[in-house]
Amino acid sequence: MITVDLNLQEMSRLTQSKGVCPNCKADSHISYSKLKDQYDPDAVYFDVKCHNCGTTWDEHYSLVFFEQDNIQIPSEK
Ligand SMILES: [Zn+2]
């Protein structure tokens, strides 16, 4: 597979929407795999691939605190 690095001008014409291929605009036949080696606790990064045109990209999501649950305090000894 041939990949190309895009300059800023080329980047700006591409769609940037969650779950939409920036190249062919497909919003189905897209697969996600969670990036490993991630150190940011407030974000999650996915490796994404469009199976329609073969384009790959990363999608970044910031996480919002929701609640603490399943709290287990160790008993005193
Ligand atoms: Zn595509």
CB 59 within 8 A of CB 45: yes
What Cα–Cα distance (Å) separates residue 61 from each residue in 4, 14, 21, 35, 72?
Answer: 24, 19, 16, 12, 29
Dist. CA 23 → ligand 1 center (Å): 5
pLDDT in tens, the chain (77 residues): 677 777 877 777 777 889 999 999 999 999 999 877 777 888 889 999 999 999 999 998 998 999 999 999 999 87
Q: State residue 42's pLDDT score.
A: 86
Dist. CA 73 → ligand 1 center (Å): 49
Dist. CA 20 → ligand 1 center (Å): 8
CB 61 within 8 A of CB 44: yes
Distance CA 68, CA 32 (A): 27
> Strand, coil or helix: what is 2?
coil
- Quote the pTM value: 0.70
Tokens of 21: 């291929």
